[in-house]
Structure 1
Amino acid sequence: MSIFKKIFKKSRSQEDGIFFDAIQKILGFPPNELIHYQKAFTHRSSGKLDSTGNPVSYERLEFLGDAMLSSVIAAHLFNEAPFGDEGYLTKMRSKIVSREHLNELGKDLDLIRFVESKVPVQHFGENIHGNIFESLIGAIYLDKGYPFCEKFIHQKVIIPYVDISRLEGKVISYKSLIIEWCQKEKKLFHYDIFEDNAIDGQRLFGVKLSIDGKVVAKARATSKKKAEEKASQRAYFAFQEKMDKK
């Protein structure tokens, strides 16, 4: 249940006070303008409008936070990996700000408890966690400026999670690895996708990955993208020795 709903019957000043304390604990410093953080957790379904009649949603702050996060991470990698060229730095930044990683960060901070929405929490997709993490960063930038935004990203992202040597070996897309290897080795590949149904009636997608006309991996998942990634991962482990030599 949203923290807003829990304190709905309290006065506005009590509500703001509880929210202020909770946000300050996450940030590590007191916010100046609480309204920025309230917007950072407002889902479009709430139907709220600002003073000029525009819909209030965390999505604009998410856009801003994404840019701030990328810039701070880029500057850190530029300074800490002087040996890396543009391609290397771009790949490393992608690993750090991957949707999967941002979702984990949002979950670790339990940010979803603050979301104000008319949609039940269980109906949100997995990416809501990463989206509101980015919107929180956008709110920090508007409220406190770049230095505080940079400090927050260092404390919550870079210090606990960014280990360049470890990230070098992290795979963020097995499908991309398979495609890159096949193109380099001039192998033909094809993902054959079909709908499937589990015993409980849940909609699933099946994938058969063929390389040079031979099926090398199969997988099922709740989305085409997940099924392709799972099949690619299985193919990678089957061909890992050959791929790692290249």
Structure 2
Amino acid sequence: MNVFKKIFTKNSRPLEGGIFFEAIHKILGFKPNSLEYYQKAFTHRSSNKLDTKGNPINYERLEFLGDAMLSAVIASHLFNEVPSGDEGYLTKMRSKIVSREHLNELGRDLNLIQLVDSKVPSQHFGENIHGNIFEALVGAIFLDKGYTYCEKFIYKRVIVPYVDIAKLEGKVISYKSLVIEWCQKEKKPFHYDVFDDNGNDGQRYFGVKLSIDNKIIAKARATSKKKAEEIASKRAFFAFQEKMDKKL
């Protein structure tokens, strides 16, 4: 019995043995050769599992590998589908497809979180857990079945249902990036003033004031600095949309 069989037999997880196999089979659309990779892909670091060499067993390394595989397959698809696209265009389009927002959507659609082995309640996971697990799953497929199966899975679960070149061309990944780019082109000074803005519910919030040309253009409040900045940037973008569309 290998280390994974020992670990996953001894410790409880949402779906065990044959049930876990069937769940993975349904998601993949093909039978996995070895469950070891997939078990690892759904193991959260809070489980504190170690292999026989003392290395941590969790999805993070597979997430790194899956990210690389997604980028490679998506890049190849765009290269073939858009022969007129230059390097900058192809890079932007790939970024839109593999954006954190999009990967989280993919993970949620497949309900991958139901299979996660963790000591942390699922409601305490950050939003990015969905995309992280999806990337780890892609990495597990590559190790288990090789590039061809990995490519087929990405086409089935990502490219065919979600990749519409025309729609993606108009999709905004980051309003903050658009605002900064526009301000730099127009030589307009800008500043994000971030501050704590906590309420009475015990949740930590951050407030943001976005100033352009020394005038406050937009304000926002969210549970993270990044989210607050993005919301404020989106409001500023729509306030200046006509001017920005002409320059970007």
Return the TM-score normalized by structure 2: 0.92
Please state how far the C-alpha of 1:202 moved relative to its aligned partner. 2.6
Partner of 1:25: 26
CA distance in 2 between partners of 1:78 and 1:48 (Å): 41
> C-alpha deviations, 1:30-62, integer Å up to 9, x for none?
000111111110112212222333211111111
Partner of 2:9: none
SS for the counterpart of 1:133 is: helix
Aligned residues: 236
Residue 225 to residue 6, structure 1, CA distance change in 2 (3 Å): closer
Partner of 1:227: 228
Partner of 1:244: 245
CA distance in 2 between partners of 1:178 and 1:132 (Å): 31
SS for the counterpart of 2:39 is: helix
Matched-pair identity in %: 79
> C-alpha deviations, 1:54-96, integer Å up to 9, x for none?
2111111111111101000000011111111111111111100
Partner of 1:54: 55
Q: Retained in 1: the 8 A contact 2:179–2:237?
A: yes
SS for the counterpart of 1:91 is: helix
Residue 226 to residue 141, structure 1, CA distance change in 2 (3 Å): same
Tell me which amino acid in the other structure corresponds to 1:213.
N
Partner of 1:165: 166
CA distance in 2 between partners of 1:58 and 1:64 (Å): 10
CA distance in 1 between partners of 2:114 and 2:130 (Å): 10
Please state how far the C-alpha of 1:97 moved relative to its aligned partner. 0.4
Partner of 1:193: 194
Partner of 1:125: 126
Partner of 1:134: 135
Query: Any stretches of 5+ residues in structure 1 without a counterpart?
Result: 8-14
SS for the counterpart of 1:191 is: strand
Query: Any stretches of 5+ residues in structure 2 without a counterpart?
Result: 1-11
Q: Retained in 1: the 8 A contact 2:34–2:144?
A: yes
Partner of 1:116: 117
SS for the counterpart of 1:245 is: helix
Partner of 1:11: none
- What aligned pairs does 1:64-103 form with structure 2 within 5 A after superposition? 64-103=65-104
CA distance in 2 between partners of 1:161 and 1:55 (Å): 34
SS for the counterpart of 2:84 is: coil
CA distance in 2 between partners of 1:69 and 1:61 (Å): 12
Tell me which amino acid in the other structure corresponds to 2:166.
S
SS for the counterpart of 2:205 is: strand
RMSD: 1.1
CA distance in 2 between partners of 1:54 and 1:244 (Å): 51
Partner of 1:180: 181
CA distance in 2 between partners of 1:225 and 1:49 (Å): 33
Comparing 189-198 with 225-234, which one deviates more in the overlay?
Answer: 189-198
Please state how far the C-alpha of 1:6 moved relative to its aligned partner. 4.5
Q: Retained in 1: the 8 A contact 2:175–2:237?
A: yes
